A and B are shown apart, each in its own frame.
Chain A
Amino acid sequence: TPALADKLGIGRAALPEEVAAWDHDVRPDGLGLPEGSGDVLTGEELFSESCAVCHGEFAEGVDNWPELAGGLGTLDREDPVKTVGSFWPFLSTTWDYVHRSMPYGNAQSLSDDEVYAILAYILYSNDLVDDDFVLSKASFAEVELPNAGGFILDDRDSTELPVFIREPCMTDCKATVEITAHATVLDVTPNDTTDDGA
Chain B
Amino acid sequence: MTDEPEITKAPQIATTRRGFLGAGVAAGGALLGAGAARAAGPDPLITEVQPWAQGLGDGVDASPYGLPIRFEGDVVRRNVEWLTADTISSINFTPIHALDGTITPQGCGFERHHSGAIELSKDDYRLMINGLVDTPLVFTYADLERFPRETRTYFLECAANTGMEWAGSQLNGAQFTHGMIHNMEYTGVPLRLLLEEAGVKTEGKWVLAEGADASSNGRSIPLEKAMDDCLVAFKANGEALRKEHGYPVRLCVPGWEGNMWVKWLRRIEVGDQPWEQREETSKYTDTLADGTSRKWTWVMDAKSVVTSPSPQMPIKHGPGPLVITGLAWSGRGSITRVDVTVDGGKTWMPARLAAPGQDMAVSRFYFDHVWDGSEMLVQSRAIDSTGYVQPTKTELRDFRGLNSIYHNNCIQTWWVKANGEAENVEVS
Rounded to whole Å, the gap between the CB of B358 and the closest CB of chain A is 20
Residue of B nearest to A102 (CB): B214
Q: Is B106 an interface position by the 8 A CB rule?
A: no
Rounded to whole Å, the gap between the CB of A39 and the closest CB of chain B is 24
Contact of A154 among B276, B296, B349 (CB under 8 A): B296
Q: Is A35 an interface position by the 8 A CB rule?
A: no
- Tell me if A's interface is mostly helix, strand, loop or mixed: loop
Residue of B nearest to A101 (CB): B215
Within B72-125, the residues touching A (CB, 8 Å) are 73-74, 78-82, 84-85, 88-89, 114-115
CA distance A166 to B389 in the complex (A): 7
Bits for B372-414, please: 1 = Cβ < 8 Å to A, else 0.
0000010001010011111100010001001100000000000
CA distance A108 to B273 in the complex (A): 25
Residue of B nearest to A7 (CB): B197
Which of the 9-residue segments B58-66, B321-329, B340-348 touches chain A?
A: B340-348
Residues of B within 8 A of A49 (CB): none
CA distance A136 to B109 in the complex (A): 45
Rounded to whole Å, the gap between the CB of B278 and the closest CB of chain A is 4
Residues of A within 8 A of B391 (CB): 160, 163-164
Contact of A10 among B197, B214, B278 (CB under 8 A): B197
Which of the 9-residue segments B38-46, B236-244, B285-293 touches chain A?
A: B285-293
CA distance A96 to B267 in the complex (A): 15
Contact B348 A169 (CB under 8 A): yes
CA distance A181 to B170 in the complex (A): 9
Rounded to whole Å, the gap between the CB of B199 and the closest CB of chain A is 8
CA distance A193 to B18 in the complex (A): 12
Contact B294 A76 (CB under 8 A): no
Q: Is B11 an interface position by the 8 A CB rule?
A: yes
Residue of B nearest to A6 (CB): B196
Q: Is B275 an interface position by the 8 A CB rule?
A: yes
Q: Is B315 an interface position by the 8 A CB rule?
A: no
Contact B269 A166 (CB under 8 A): no
Query: Given contacts A10-B143, A11-B137, A165-B386, is CB(A186)–CB(B170) below 8 Å?
Result: yes
Query: Given contacts A14-B138, A150-B292, A174-B345, is CB(A25)–CB(B426) below 8 Å?
Result: no
Bits for A88-119, please: 1 = Cβ < 8 Å to B, else 0.
11101100110011001101100000000000
Contact B287 A97 (CB under 8 A): no
Contact B81 A14 (CB under 8 A): no
Residue of B nearest to A20 (CB): B130
Contact A198 B71 (CB under 8 A): yes
Q: Is B17 an interface position by the 8 A CB rule?
A: yes
Residues of A within 8 A of B403 (CB): 78-80
Contact of A156 among B171, B290, B301 (CB under 8 A): B301
Contact A13 B339 (CB under 8 A): no
Chain B, interface residues (CB within 8 Å), range: 35 or more
Contact of A183 among B137, B344, B348, B424 (CB under 8 A): B424
Residues of B within 8 A of A10 (CB): 139, 143, 146-147, 197
CA distance A89 to B88 in the complex (A): 26
Contact B171 A177 (CB under 8 A): no
Contact B428 A182 (CB under 8 A): no
Contact A89 B345 (CB under 8 A): no
Query: Given contacts A179-B425, A194-B173, is CB(A11)–CB(B139) below 8 Å?
Result: yes
Residues of A within 8 A of B275 (CB): 25, 27, 96
Contact B388 A28 (CB under 8 A): no
Contact B282 A88 (CB under 8 A): yes
Within B342-360, the residues touching A (CB, 8 Å) are 343-349
Contact of B267 among A23, A66, A179 (CB under 8 A): A23
Query: Given contacts A22-B266, A63-B85, is CB(A194)–CB(B17) below 8 Å?
Result: yes
Q: Is A1 an interface position by the 8 A CB rule?
A: yes
Contact of A88 among B71, B89, B281 (CB under 8 A): B281
- Tell me if B's interface is mostly helix, strand, loop or mixed: loop
Residue of B nearest to A84 (CB): B282
Contact A75 B266 (CB under 8 A): no
Residues of A within 8 A of B389 (CB): 164-166, 168
Contact A7 B196 (CB under 8 A): yes
Contact B427 A160 (CB under 8 A): no
Q: Is A195 an interface position by the 8 A CB rule?
A: yes
Q: Is B176 an interface position by the 8 A CB rule?
A: yes
Contact A198 B291 (CB under 8 A): no
Contact A190 B81 (CB under 8 A): yes
Most chain B CB inside 10 Å of its own CB: which residue of A8, A25, A172: A25
Query: Given contacts A12-B137, A14-B137, A93-B282, is CB(A196)–CB(B74) below 8 Å?
Result: yes
Within B172-207, the residues touching A (CB, 8 Å) are 172-173, 175-176, 193, 196-197, 199
Within A11-60, the residues touching B (CB, 8 Å) are 11-14, 18-19, 22-23, 25, 27-29, 54
Contact B136 A28 (CB under 8 A): no
Contact of B348 among A8, A29, A97, A171 (CB under 8 A): A171
Residues of B within 8 A of A180 (CB): 425-428
Residues of A within 8 A of B129 (CB): 11, 14
Q: Which residue numbers of A lie inside 8 Å of B, CB to CB? A: 1-2, 4, 7-8, 10-14, 18-19, 22-23, 25, 27-29, 54, 63-66, 75-76, 78-80, 82, 84, 87-90, 92-93, 96-97, 100-101, 104-105, 107-108, 150-156, 159-161, 163-166, 168-184, 186, 188-190, 193-198
The 7 closest A-B pairs by CB, nearest first: A76-B291, A177-B344, A197-B74, A75-B291, A183-B424, A64-B85, A107-B214
A to B CB contacts below 8 Å, 28 in the list: A7-B197, A8-B147, A13-B137, A18-B138, A23-B131, A25-B208, A28-B273, A80-B287, A93-B277, A101-B214, A101-B278, A104-B214, A151-B281, A154-B294, A155-B294, A156-B299, A161-B388, A165-B388, A170-B348, A179-B425, A179-B428, A182-B415, A184-B423, A189-B171, A193-B74, A194-B17, A195-B18, A198-B74
